[in-house]
Structure 1
Amino acid sequence: MEGMGDAGETCPFEFNFDPATFKVGDTVSYRVTGSLDGFPFAGTLLEVHDDYVVIAGDLNDPDVRYKGTRESRPVVDQSQV
């Protein structure tokens, strides 16, 4: 999300990009496959497993949850969105 605002403006999020240290409550930058590829999304980790994470897709709706890969910027399949 760097460079997306005005000059001198900082990102309002603090992301964890280290999958080895992911924990519930961390904010991550994630990607979505398909037509949304290339757009940055921010979400909060709800679950952390050995090979995947569960991301809150909408903090106002707890039923919106996405399963993503466990890597520095998790990948969510577009079919979940």
Structure 2
Amino acid sequence: MQGMGDTGEACPFEFNFDPASFKVGDTVSYRVTGSLDGFPFVGTLLEVHEDHVVIAGDANDPEARYKGTRESRPLVEYSEV
């Protein structure tokens, strides 16, 4: 998300890209497979498990919960969205 705004403008989000230190409440940049591949998304971690995370993907919809991989930028299957 760097370089997407005006010159010198910083990204408004502070992301955790270290899956070993993920904790509930962290803001992450995540990816989605399929037709949304390549677009960056922002979400908050709701759950952190050994092999996956659960992301709140829409601040306006508390029911929007996406299961993603536990890696620096979690990957969510398109069918979850």
Does the alignment reach a TM-score above 0.5? yes
Question: SS at 1:55's partner residue?
Answer: strand
Residue 25 of structure 1: aligned partner? 25
What is residue 7 of structure 2 aligned with on the other side?
Answer: 7
Separation (CA, whole Å) in 1 of partners of 2:22 and 2:58: 19
CA offsets 1:15-68 (integer angstroms, 9 cap, x no match):
000000000000000000011000000000000000000000111211110000
TM-score, normalized by length of structure 2?
0.97
- Distance across 2 between alignment mates of 1:36 and 1:4: 18
TM-score (norm 1): 0.97
Whole-Å separation in 1 of the counterparts to 2:38 and 2:2: 14
The one-letter code matched in structure 2 to 1:75 is L
How many residue pairs get aligned? The number is: 81
Q: Please tell me the root mean square deviation across aligned C-alpha atoms, in Å.
A: 0.6
Q: Which runs of 5+ in 1 are unaligned?
A: none
Identity %: 83
Q: Which residue of 1 aligns with 2:48?
A: 48
